[in-house]
Chain A
Amino acid sequence: MHAKDSGALLLTPLEVKRAVSALPRAHWLRLHKVARALCRNAHFEAEDLLQDAFTRALEGSRRCARTVNIVHFLVGVMRSIASDWRKACKRRLEIIGPASPTGLLQEVVVKVRDERPAADDWIASAQEATCIKRAILDLFADDGVAQRMLEGIFDGMAGEELRSLTELSQTQFASKRRLIRRRIDKAFPQEWKP
């Protein structure tokens, strides 16, 4: 396929701007809720994430296919940015003073340390994650089905497999998942904290 042809399949930045401008209120709420969920694990503000996603879409560095729902496209962009930001926070640096007497900024030697966490960091972060998981499960101390569903999610289950685990009908399953989301949103408005 020629580049020109593939361009016709993608929205132009102006079309993106028009499409986003015309979104109804529910979609703005949806985008914000998604941003908030993604930032909970990345130590960034939802508004920053939203702005970055909009900027990339408007500048054309991320292009939306005409066949893709614009909200789903923006959610995809936010997921990708949040993932990059999370990685950026996890990796650490070692800065070794100015390498020359002139001390120019460009001459500072920077070593990027091994991206894998050191053993003590890993243990600390694993302990914190365990505490957070416990705190989340405790929110549903009165609801064994919700706890089972959460355990399944933590174990990597999704979709039909997860629904089977809970033995709920499709509608009941959706309601339970919603209840979980709302209770978590209320208990953890910003970051995950044990």
Chain B
Amino acid sequence: MTRKKTRQQQAPLDRLTDALVDDVLATSDAELLNEAQAEDDNGAAVARRAFERACRPAAQRQLQTSKRQVRGRRLAGANIRALDPKTARGWLDEFIASHPETANKLNDAPAAGDQLSDEDVYGMLEMLQKRGARKQKAIDQNSR
């Protein structure tokens, strides 16, 4: 009942996504394995890799994630304020772990163990986001 009500409130593409997820859950193991073989799908390896990364100590994990997120446009496109405080803090830690030289240039960059308020974390992420956007704009202009 609750699910149905939720579906009615969703956008059509979200409803389709839900239906696709339900189908994946309802598909038998054998069929999934057959599909993977037919489509040369390496999804199992990708999922395992994500799990292995999640099992690593936090510092290593953050470094790996940040490297990948340069390709995925996590910081650039996101609305920082809409993140929950824990995720925002994780993103800032990831950035600092992967860009120590930039982090050192920031006023009041957090040293290890520093306790920043949520507001500080959001503010710093937004500034980093803004700097990234400016840098990209400069690159675009120079390339013309």
Instruction: Report which A residues bind B (CB closer than 8 A).
Output: 17, 20-21, 24-38, 40-41, 43-48, 50-51, 54-55, 58, 61, 71-72, 75, 79, 84-85, 87-93, 95, 102-108, 110, 112, 129, 132-133, 136, 150, 153-156, 158, 174, 177-178, 180-182, 184, 186, 192
Given contact pairs A34-B25, A41-B13, enumerate 20 new A-B contacts (beta carbons under 8 Å). Answer: A26-B33, A27-B29, A28-B43, A29-B41, A29-B43, A29-B44, A31-B47, A34-B24, A36-B43, A37-B20, A47-B49, A50-B46, A50-B47, A51-B65, A55-B61, A75-B25, A92-B79, A106-B124, A110-B81, A177-B23
Instruction: Report which B residues bind A (CB closer than 8 A).
Output: 3-4, 7-8, 10-27, 29-33, 35-36, 39, 41, 43-51, 53-55, 61, 65, 68-69, 71-74, 77-84, 86-87, 106-108, 119-120, 122-124, 126-127, 130
Residues B24 and A181 in contact, CB atoms below 8 Å apart: yes
Interface majority SS (helix, strand, loop, mixed), chain B: helix
How many residue-residue contacts, CB under 8 A, span A and B? Answer: 192
Residues B123 and A133 in contact, CB atoms below 8 Å apart: no
Residues B123 and A30 in contact, CB atoms below 8 Å apart: no
Closest to B122 in A: A110
Interface majority SS (helix, strand, loop, mixed), chain A: helix
Residues B47 and A181 in contact, CB atoms below 8 Å apart: no
Residues A54 and B54 in contact, CB atoms below 8 Å apart: yes
